[in-house]
Amino acid sequence: MPESSKPLQLLLASSNVGKLREFQAFAGPLAQRIELGLLKAYSSLPEFEESHPTFGENAVGKAIHYSRDCAELVMADDSGLVVPALHGAPGVQSARYAGPNATDADRNAKLLAEMRALNGEQRCARYVCVLALARQGQVRGVFSAAADGVILDKPSGAGGFGYDPIFFCMALGKTYAEISQQEKNQHSHRGKAFRKLLDFLML
């Protein structure tokens, strides 16, 4: 995109300001060339039910759903933690793994209990993120990335959220709850997927 061009408008299919800030941080030096915002009509539109069995289907379905009446590009995501030894759980149920009103601590406790008898490579896990781009109900691109790690037998660190206190990143030698936000932006599944999306848009 030429330097003189206006910033590309990209709307996030969410009302979560924290998620918006996270993606803005991922953009890094490209932030000046992309105008990333929340979909203003998000809360007034019928909710998309993320009931599909894969991250990709949920992300694509969500992007199509919220972009139908929008002229701008709309981006939707689905992400979660995958433990192969648990047949992919928590997977697409990552946010609902311990019930609809559970806390992060509840979800971590349930996962640790499920993995109590697992050792070695059985404790390998990966964070997965799929991002989908759509405009006026048509898919324009799908991007995925993963971050590999190991599930510890107890939480460590006070930062992050979700499963971060028990997700140990081998490359960094720390859990995601023990690293800086800058380190997490560089290594996280969402950050890597979003940078693929930006490369596709040739920003």
Q: 59 near 77, Cβ under 8 Å?
A: yes
What pLDDT, on the 0 to 100 scale, is given for residue 23? 92
Q: Quickly state the pLDDT bin for 1 (edges 50, 70, 90).
A: very low
Q: What percent of the chain has pLDDT over 70?
A: 97
Q: Domain spans of the chain?
A: 8-200
Q: How many CA atoms lie within 13 Å of 119's alpha carbon, on the beta-carbon side? A: 1
**What is the pLDDT averaged over residues 106-127?**
97
Catalytic: 78?
Answer: yes
Q: 84 near 153, Cβ under 8 Å?
A: no
* Active-site residue identified among 78, 106, 148, 199: 78
- The pTM of the full predicted model, rounded to 2 decimals, is 0.91
User: Which residues touch 190 (CB under 8 Å, ≥6 apart)?
Assistant: 22, 23, 26, 77, 79, 129, 145
What pLDDT, on the 0 to 100 scale, is given for residue 203? 58
What pLDDT, on the 0 to 100 scale, is given for residue 141? 97
What fold is seen in the domain 8-200?
Maf protein (3.90.950)
Q: What is the pLDDT of residues 173-195, one digit of tens each?
A: 999 999 998 899 889 999 999 99
What pLDDT, on the 0 to 100 scale, is given for residue 2? 44
